[in-house]
Amino acid sequence: MTAKSGPLVEAMKADPSHRPVSSSETSPGRPRPLGRVFAALGGAAALILGVALISSGSAEAEGQGEPREAATPGAQLTDAARKAGASEHTGQGGVEQEPPKAPRFSNTTCWEELERFNDTVTLETFRSWSAPLLGVKDPLVREYLKERLAELIGNDEGRASEVLGWAREASPAEFKLLMAGLRGSEAMGKPKVAAQLTSLGLDERLDIGRRAGFLDELKGLPRLEPAALEKLAHFAKDPASGEAGWVTTRAIGQVMKEDFQKTGNVKPYLDKLFTIAAESPDEPVRYLALEMEMHADAPLDAQATERLAKILSTEGSENIRQVAAHDLSLAQDKAQALEIYAKAFEAEQNLCVRWALFRFAARAAGKDALPVMANMAMTDSRFQGNYQDFERLYASGIVDFDRIWFSLPTQDPHGCLDPGH
């Protein structure tokens, strides 16, 4: 799996502050207005829509007398066209003449056809009726289908479960549509939907790429139950999880951020992310597990702080040690954090990791970090100028770390933003 940490490491070094990054009112049975879609689509695109919708009906016209299992909007329009064509096939005296070419439908007819789809489609018919429209490959059409499917699902867990069942064997294009529709529905946050998404993502009978697709949707959940979180963390650190492990780690982190902002609940997620960071054999996964704390900006208790200390002393990747140094600045116990920074700096050999430990000590404790930073500068003379800059700025009365950081003569005094580092 290719590493995904390069640009994120650079951004972290450039700005250590790292400030991180409605449900529909329409009822499932009520068709949504198409005004916005119509206004965005041009006449040519509309014609394509109409032709796509009637394509299945036109094919049926070739087999006269054969029963049709279900009437679609396209089939209804084709019936009318076929009757009109039949009257022209017979000349004077009832002699059948050569059939004309397939009829061309006007833009107005196409609008009517799309309106008929919108007004009469149900969840049961959506999959077959939308198939021709997916072939159009128009982003506006797909956006409409996504929103219409979301409305059809509504707040119904049973309907959401049915759509997830379709997604198991769907083509890549249809899978994307089904997941987008589910994501936009009110049922997305329901416990049964979350459980089914987790189950599908961990189903070893499915292709790993399809499993990653299901697991990626977990990031939109408002919370993860303890049992699901345990299973997901175990999978994320599994050497065989591959790309799906990275996706799962990101989902855990994004749900953590959402849950923390709404309820203050963060400890269960951090515990699992730090376990992934310590135990996963995949470096990008370990990096991401620590990076997600940067986005949540959640305070660390004493236990989480000690776990970061261990990562700083045992992690082999310089990039990951830098992320750990950043996370440590969120420790609630500032004295504990400064002690860890001091010990880690003394043992560290890499210049850029030392620079991370030096500056994030200031982020952790502000002016109170100056004695520790002075000792770091005595240990490594390359940091004497950096110490003087921080000391001068704190003496000027600035206390906010962001202001301190952007007031420095340079944010890259040791060339650590170079891609080679």
pLDDT digits (tens, 9 = 90+) for 389-400: 999 999 999 999
Q: Which among 327, 17, 385 has a CA at the least distance from the CA of 374?
A: 385
Q: Which among 273, 373, 366 has a CA at the least distance from the CA of 327?
A: 273
Q: What is the pLDDT of residue 105?
A: 31
Contact 250, 292 (CB under 8 A): yes
> Mean pLDDT across the chain, nearest whole number?
80
**Looking at residue 101, what DSSP letter applies?**
P
Q: Token digits for 121? A: 């489609």
Arithmetic mean of pLDDT, 17-37: 44
pLDDT in tens, 201-229: 999 999 999 999 999 999 999 999 999 99
Arithmetic mean of pLDDT, 90-105: 45
Q: What are the residue boundaries of the structural domains of the chain, listed by start?
A: 32-57+74-79+104-185, 190-298, 317-421
Higher pLDDT among residues 304 and 69, named by residue: 304
Q: How confident is the model at residue 290 (pLDDT cuts 50, 70, 90)?
A: very high
Q: What is the pLDDT of residue 76?
A: 43
Contact 284, 7 (CB under 8 A): no
Contact 197, 217 (CB under 8 A): yes
Q: Which among 20, 27, 4 has a CA at the least distance from the CA of 258?
A: 20
> Is the confidence at residue 35, as pLDDT, over 60?
no
With vertex at residue 384, the alpha carbon angle to CA 382 and CA 389, rounded to the nearest 5 degrees, is 125
pTM of the model: 0.73
